[in-house]
Amino acid sequence: MTKKLFDRTPDGKEVYLFTIGNKNGLTAEIINYGGIVVSLYVPDKNGKADDVVLGCDSLEDYSDSPYFGAVIGRYANRIENAVFELNGKEYRLAKNDGNNHLHGGIKGFDKVVWDVLEHSDNTLKLHYLSPDGEEGYPGNLDITVTYTITDDNELSIDYKAKSDADTIVNLTNHSYFNLSGHDSGNILNHQLKINAEKFTVSNEELIPTGEIAGVEGTPLDFRNLRPIGDGIQADNIHIKYGNGYDHNFVLNVSGKEPEFAAEVFDPASGRRMKVYTTKPGIQLYTGNYISDIKGKGGIRYGKNGGLCLETQFFPNSVKHKHFPSPVLKAGELYHHITIYKFE
């Protein structure tokens, strides 16, 4: 368990790097700016630990990164036309992704300094109070995010939130994983399995239309382990819209407790990661727009340098009543858990 100064924000706030880990060599380094997982050291088949997440060495570099490792909120993913209706009232949000709203807006939860409530050998608990009207969202939202590394080689992320007014909430983590090591190139040889028979169909702006389609016979069929590179350049409209994989999958989960959502295997290192969640969806994003981004140790990250498995309510779910609802009623508890287990 260590704590050291990482950087300072432009207005002088100190940001610290906290280390948590277990006896098996699984170690995470997390900063209280954006709740960012800066590094995650995982032993390979020979016991050698490598850092398997993309990240940066300074806040300035993080400002140029595509949400590396961060907590995303108040609403992860996209909202069509940056507007939603709740209880008969219209709420207008920032248009920060073309005509749409993405990942909580201009200054989402990834760009704020969080309070540290607890830091022990294996746990870091962060807190943030998002004021009513922040980025256009209603209600004062009180959030805690707890990172725990277990002796079963799991990184567990526990999200809790309460609001004093009805609002919408969809929290996730935006880590980019490369199980060969963050500095090892692309993830096209990684093998992927997703526990989903269906996905949400999106338009050319990556906004779900409301249609839910089967993965069978498409490049989005990851019901069995297969290399990511196999379908990433397929002649398929869904792949072309995302310039690769950038899709929400409808998970075969109940939502009552963390259940199996996805598995990634890297043949080169022998590392295997399994994802468990209480959320109904998972966004597969294969770093299609990473381009010469400055990373840790001066490494330059390129296209497909990492993959994200963002557990979530479906994108644009506030517009489609047949999607699981992201509405959080005043006084009710939002509680979701996502676990990344390494084998």
pLDDT band at 298 (very low <50, low <70, confident <90, very high): very high
Tell whether omega for the bond before 223 is within 30 degrees of 0, i.e. cis.
no
Mean pLDDT value of segment 242-247: 97
Q: pLDDT tens across 134-191, in order? A: 999 999 999 999 999 999 999 999 999 999 999 999 999 999 999 999 999 999 999 9
- CA–CA dist 216, 221 (Å, integer): 6
Q: What angle do CA 117, 118, 119 make, to 5 degrees?
A: 140
Give the position of tokens 């072309």. Answer: 240
CB 187 within 8 A of CB 245: no
Tokens of 229: 């590179």
Count of beta carbons in the 10 Å neighbourhood of residue 147: 22
* Selected catalytic residue, list 174, 182, 190, 238: 174
Pick the catalytic residue from 135, 182, 310, 336: 310
> pLDDT of 9-63, one tens digit each?
999 999 999 999 999 999 999 999 999 999 999 999 999 999 999 999 999 999 9
**Residue 1 in this model has a pLDDT that exceeds 90:** no
Q: Is the pLDDT reported for residue 82 higher than 90? A: yes
Q: What is the pTM of this model?
A: 0.97
Average pLDDT estimate for 118-139: 98
Asked about 322 being catalytic, the answer comes back as no
State the Cα–Cα distance between residues 269 and 41, nearest whole angstrom: 13
Task: Write down the residue that tokens 């929400």 correspond to.
Answer: 248
Percent of the chain with pLDDT over 90: 99
What band does 75 get if pLDDT is binned at 50, 70 and 90?
very high
CB 93 within 8 A of CB 137: yes
Nearest to 178 by CA among 35, 64, 40, 18: 40
Q: How far apart are alpha carbons 249 and 194 in whole angstroms?
A: 8
- Told to judge if 60 belongs to the known catalytic residues of this protein, a careful annotator would answer no
Mean model confidence pLDDT for the chain: 97
The full set of domains in the chain, from first to last, is 2-342 (2.70.98.10)
Look at residue 2 in the predicted model and tell me its pLDDT.
95
